[in-house]
Amino acid sequence: MDAKALSGAVALVTGASSGIGAATSRRLAAEGAAVALVADRRDPLDRLVCEIARAGGLAEAFDSDITDPEQAYQVVQDTLERFQRLDILVNNAGVMLLGTALHATIEEWDRMVALNVRALLHVTHAAVPYLIDGASTSARQVADIVNIGSTSGRVAQPAGSVYSLTKFGLNGFTEALRQELLRERVRVSVVEPGTAPTELADHLDDDIRETALGQISGLEPLHPADVADAVAYIVLCDRRAAINQIMIRAADQTW
C-alpha cells in the first residue's frame, strides 16, 4: 500500500501561481497527489512545477484565463489528458478590489465578479462530471471540491461591498452544490481565511492599500500554509466524514 494518502489522486488548483494556491499545491503534492497548476501567469507556475518535482512530487502547469468559459473547459480537459482522471478541485483564484460605491469603477466590480464568481462556475461546471467519475473509481471512493472563500463572506465592511458579494455568494453556492452532489460522493467544502499574505492587496490603489494594510498593522497574519493545512484536512478525511466549512482567522483578528 502506498504510504501517501493521496497517491493516485489528481488535483486541480486554480490561482496556483502564488500565496494560498501555491501552498495548497505543494501540500497536496506532498500527500501524493498529481497536481494541475492553473493561473494566468506561466513563469511562476513553471517554477512551482520544478519545486514540487525537486520535493519528489508531480505537477503540470496550465496557463489559462478561466474567466473565459472555453478556456476553463479546456484546462479541465488538459488535466484529464495529462493525468487521466480528476479527484480534487480547489477553486482558489480570486481578486479583491476595495473601494466605495462612489469611488470604485464598474470595471473593478466586473473584474471581481468575473474571477471570483464566473471563473469558479466555469471550472466547477466543467469538472463535476469527472469528479463524480473519480469518486466512483478511486480507492478513496470520494472526490472533493474545496472553494476558498474569505471572512469577508461572513463579515461585510465598508469599501468591500462587491468583494463581500462574491464571497457571501460563494457560501450559498457551496452549500447548495454540497447537497446536490451528496449521492455522488463528491464532497463540497469552503475554507474562509482571514488575514493572510497574498497578492490580493497588490491590486489595490495606493491610498486604499495603505488603509487596508493599516487595518492589519500589528497582527501576525496567517501563513498560506495554514490555509493549505485546512484544505488538506478536508480532503484527507475518510469518506464517511465531510468537513463542510472551515473559518481560519489570524489569532488576533477581531472581524
Which contiguous run of DSSP H or E holds residue 43? Answer: helix 42-54
Residue 117 DSSP label: I
Give the C-alpha separation, 47 to 43, whole Å: 6
**Residue 51 is part of which domain span?**
10-248
Nearest to 92 by CA among 35, 141, 33: 35
Task: Assess if residue 101 is contained within a domain.
Answer: yes
Task: Assess if residue 255 is contained within a domain.
Answer: no
Would you state the pLDDT for residue 205?
Answer: 56
Task: Assess if residue 37 is contained within a domain.
Answer: yes
Task: Assess if residue 5 is contained within a domain.
Answer: no
- Please indicate whether residue 73 is annotated as part of the active site: no
Tens place of pLDDT for every residue, the chain, 255 residues? 457 999 999 999 999 999 999 999 999 999 999 999 999 999 999 999 999 999 999 999 999 999 999 999 999 999 999 999 999 999 999 999 999 999 999 999 999 999 999 999 999 999 999 999 999 999 999 999 999 999 999 999 999 999 999 999 999 999 999 999 999 999 999 999 999 875 555 544 555 545 555 555 678 999 999 999 999 999 999 999 999 999 999 999 988
Task: Assess if residue 105 is contained within a domain.
Answer: yes
Would you state the pLDDT for residue 218?
Answer: 74
Looking from the CA of 141 toward its CB, the CA atoms found within 13 Å total 5
Give the C-alpha separation, 28 to 54, whole Å: 15
Q: Is 174 exposed, middle or buried (0-12, 13-18, 19+ CB in 10 A)?
A: buried
Task: Assess if residue 169 is contained within a domain.
Answer: yes
The domain spanning residue 66 has which CATH number?
3.40.50.720
| Span 113-170, pLDDT tens digits | 999 999 999 999 999 999 999 999 999 999 999 999 999 999 999 999 999 999 999 9
Render 142-166 in DSSP notation, one character per residue. -EEEEEE--GGGTS--TT-HHHHHH
Task: Assess if residue 253 is contained within a domain.
Answer: no
Would you state the pLDDT for residue 130?
Answer: 98
Residues 119, 43: contact at Cβ < 8 Å? no
Task: Assess if residue 4 is contained within a domain.
Answer: no
Would you state the pLDDT for residue 197?
Answer: 73
Give the C-alpha separation, 243 to 85, whole Å: 23
- Set of cell numbers at residue 102: 462612489
Q: How many domains are contained in the chain? A: 1
The reported pTM is: 0.92
